Structure 1
């Protein structure tokens, strides 16, 4: 039996994490991070590379189990789930889009987009219909029967977004999803993602260092060195210039650190 957290997850938080710690080969990736994400909210995890954004995203999505701390999805403890249960959760309730499309080259475009539904046991016909609908919304319906090798990088990224949206998940996680795109393609991807999220009540958590991508969010959580930016240790200030010598009739200058 799982012991309840000291503080219960808020009812309107679809995702809730407390005091997450995770390290990569002994180097801290997350240090005591807590975050809550409301139903239908678009949240941006911001910060420079190496700040812990991707690690936090992977802990929230069940890809990683935190070494310490708790992750809850709709009041279900993700941090105590076994690997198979977390895999099913990601397949059935979550969508994911990263900086690389990671399409299967042997499958047609519509099959790549429909993959979450096909893996969940949906009929071939219904999965194809749903996938083609999203491909049309992303202006790549004409490529449905082609292989990914016939598409350029930006088109493949749109297929990856269609795959993330096809089963209308509760949460979509985006790890630098616009990183490989130029401005026009970035705008199209973000517009489709945010419109779908608003119309279907999908919660979105984005990890990004791109200001235009972060600007679509309702709220931001800045990270630095694996901690919320407000609690990260401040960098030491450089030493100030030596105090100027005082002369007769001049008040001495007082330099504060």
Structure 2
């Protein structure tokens, strides 16, 4: 087992994973530098979510290695991986998963309070990020009374308020209209850059690559250099060209 390069905050080698005997990752390797924004692109079903979950320790890879700051995540037990996600990682889902009984600032402050941060400090951090994301006016409103774009901004604020070392964003604009999604992406990435947060961003459209420092593409669980997926023809079939 060889330790990763010192300048990579995340490093993975030859990751393999299967869902119900169906390959989801097939030998994926990559490194992410500190403060870098990496876009993981590809069509739906290409393995983007599985890759992020393996990198974050949500799913233990069946084969391969995952390192975080030269610490082998792939050898950690489930409790150690859970602490790592709580203390060092942030996560944004495609749909805003908020607690309906808590208001906006309480949802945004929740990860900090779970770490043991005082309610006062957690509230201050949450309110700061809600303001930065132009959702401060809804700080005391509960999620059921808010629109989907507003709820997604709260989810982004929740991920950023805890100042994670690495933020995993899994299709964070999938539930938004294109203009709203582009604005959330710009805000997310500019906030991450200003705080030196490393971001691994999964997306299936070109907007993600425009805000990222670098991108990698997946197709059927494998890394590819380029992916071209033409619109489906009337016969329901279209050729697929790729270079690997």
Report the TM-score, using the length of structure 1 for normalisation: 0.86
Structure 2 residue aligned with 1:219: 214
Q: Deviations along 1:163-184, whole A, 9 cap, x unmatched?
A: 0001111111011101111133
Pairwise CA distance, 1:231: 10
Which of 177, 184, 189 is residue 189 of structure 1 equivalent to? 184
Counterparts of 1:20-169 in structure 2 under 5 Å? 20-169=15-164
Checking the alignment, whether the CA contact within 8 Å between 1:178 and 1:213 is kept in structure 2 is no
Q: Deviations along 1:65-97, whole A, 9 cap, x unmatched?
A: 000100000001111111111111111111111
Checking the alignment, whether the CA contact within 8 Å between 2:217 and 2:226 is kept in structure 1 is no
Q: Note the aligned Cα RMSD (angstroms).
A: 1.5
* Structure 1 residue ranges (4+ consecutive) displaced by more than 4 angstroms after TM superposition: none
CA distance in 1, matches of 2:43, 2:81: 28
- State how many pairs are aligned: 228
Going from structure 1 to structure 2, the CA distance change for 1:231 and 1:32 (only over 3 Å counts) comes to farther
Pairwise CA distance, 1:188: 2.2
Pairwise CA distance, 1:110: 0.6
Counterparts of 1:200-239 in structure 2 under 5 Å? 200-230=195-225
- Matched residue SS, 1:15: strand
Pairwise CA distance, 1:230: 4.4
- Matched residue SS, 1:18: strand
Checking the alignment, whether the CA contact within 8 Å between 1:131 and 1:163 is kept in structure 2 is yes
Which runs of no fewer than 5 residues in structure 1 stay unpaired? 233-237, 239-257
Going from structure 1 to structure 2, the CA distance change for 1:69 and 1:46 (only over 3 Å counts) comes to same
CA distance in 1, matches of 2:122, 2:64: 37
Checking the alignment, whether the CA contact within 8 Å between 2:216 and 2:225 is kept in structure 1 is no
Structure 1 residue aligned with 2:168: 173
CA distance in 1, matches of 2:146, 2:82: 29
CA distance in 1, matches of 2:183, 2:45: 27
Which runs of no fewer than 5 residues in structure 2 stay unpaired? 228-238, 240-244
- Matched residue SS, 1:220: strand
Q: Deviations along 1:236-255, whole A, 9 cap, x unmatched?
A: xx9xxxxxxxxxxxxxxxxx
Report the TM-score, using the length of structure 2 for normalisation: 0.90
Going from structure 1 to structure 2, the CA distance change for 1:230 and 1:212 (only over 3 Å counts) comes to closer
